[in-house]
Amino acid sequence: MIVTCSPHIRHQDTTKSIMRDVLIALAPALLVSVFVFGVHALVLVAVCVAFAVGAEYVFEKACGKPITIGDYSAVVTGLLLAYNLPLGLPLWMAAFGSIVAIIFAKQLFGGIGQNFANPAITARIVLLISFTGPMTDWVTGYPDTVAGATPLTLMATGQTDKMPSIAQMALGQIGGCIGEVSAVALLIGFAYLLYRKVITWHITISFIATVAVLTALLGQNPVYHMLTGGLMLGAIFMATDYSTSPQTPKGRVIFGIGCGILTVLIRVYGNYPEGVSFAILLMNIIAPHISNYTRNKALGGAAK
C-alpha cells in the first residue's frame, strides 16, 4: 500500500454520493435521447446498465470479493457506454460491451479506482473495432434530422452544405450516438457537477478549448467541432474520471490539452471522423506520469 504525505483529510463525500451526482448530471442527456431517438434508446440503456451491474455482481461473487454494486459505479459505466452507442446496435453487442467494460477494463485491474483506462471508453473502442459496421450505422427517430450520417461524417466528406444548423446541433436534432447529440443537455450536467464540486473545470475546458483553437487554426469551423460527435460527452463525463486522470490541477490542464490535440489530429487527418475515445484512452495511459511530473513538492522537501 502506498500512503502519501500528510495532511490526510477525510471528506464526507463517498463513492455512492459521487456516482449519484453523476447519474443526476447525465439525466438531461437521457431525456433528450428518448425525445430524439424514441423509446428504444431506453431499451439500449436498460440492457447496458443491467449487464454492467450483473457482470460486476457475478465477478465479485465468483472471486469472493465484497459486492460493490450498491455504489452505483457499475450503473454509471453502463449508462456511459449506452450513451456512446448508436441506436440501431444489436442488443447482444451492447451487452457484450458492458461485460467488457466491467470485467476486462475494471475488475481485472482490481475494481473501482484501480483501472488505468476508463471502462466505458475501452468498451466502446472494442465494439468499434470488432463491429465497425453496426457501430457506425447511424439512424435517428426524429423527423427532419440528418439520417445516415453524423455532422462529423459530413465534414469529413466535404458535405458541409448538408450540415444541420447550430441550433439543431446544440439541441440534439442530429445523428450520432444516443447520449452525445445534445450539447445543451450535456452542459447542464457539467454545470451541475461543477456546482456539486464533483469535478473541476480544468480537464473539460482545456479539452474543448484546445479543439476549438486548433480546428480554427486549421481553417475548420470550431463551433461545428465543439457541438458534434462525442466531444462534450467525453470532455465532461469520461475524461474527468478520477482514477484515470491526473490528480493535480496543472496535470489536468495538460491532460485536457493532450486530449484535444489527439482528437483534432484524428478528426482532421485520420480515416475515422471521430477521435475523442482514442484520445482519452491514450491520455489515460500517460495520466500517472503527468501526475508525477506535476505534483507539488512537499513543504520542506529537498529539490532533486
pLDDT tens for each residue of the chain, 304 residues long: 455 666 566 667 788 999 999 999 999 999 999 998 889 999 999 999 999 999 999 999 999 999 999 999 999 999 999 999 999 999 999 999 999 999 999 999 988 888 889 999 999 999 999 999 899 887 655 554 445 567 777 777 777 777 788 888 888 778 789 998 899 999 999 999 999 999 999 999 999 999 999 999 999 889 989 998 899 999 999 999 988 999 899 999 999 999 999 999 999 998 887 889 999 999 999 999 999 988 877 666 655 5
For residue 96, give every residue at least 6 positions away whose Cβ sits within 8 Å of its Cβ, in sequence order, or none.
Answer: 127
| Contact present, 80 and 239 (Cβ < 8 Å) | no
Q: Residue 188 to residues 118, 158, 184, 263, 273: CA-CA distances in angstroms? A: 22, 31, 6, 23, 26
Does the N-terminal peptide bond of residue 7 adopt cis geometry, omega within 30 degrees of 0? yes
Helices (H), the chain: 15-37, 40-63, 73-83, 91-99, 119-130, 132-135, 151-156, 166-171, 183-195, 202-217, 222-227, 231-233, 249-269, 276-294
Return d(Cα 224, Cα 218) in angstroms, integer: 13
CA 154 and chain centroid, separation: 22
**In this predicted structure, what is the pLDDT of residue 146?**
43
Query: Secondary structure of 77-140 in the HEC alphabet?
Result: HHHHHHHCCCCCCCHHHHHHHHHHHHHHCCHHHCCCCCCCCCHHHHHHHHHHHHCHHHHCCCCC
pTM of the model: 0.89
Measured in residues, the chain has a length of: 304
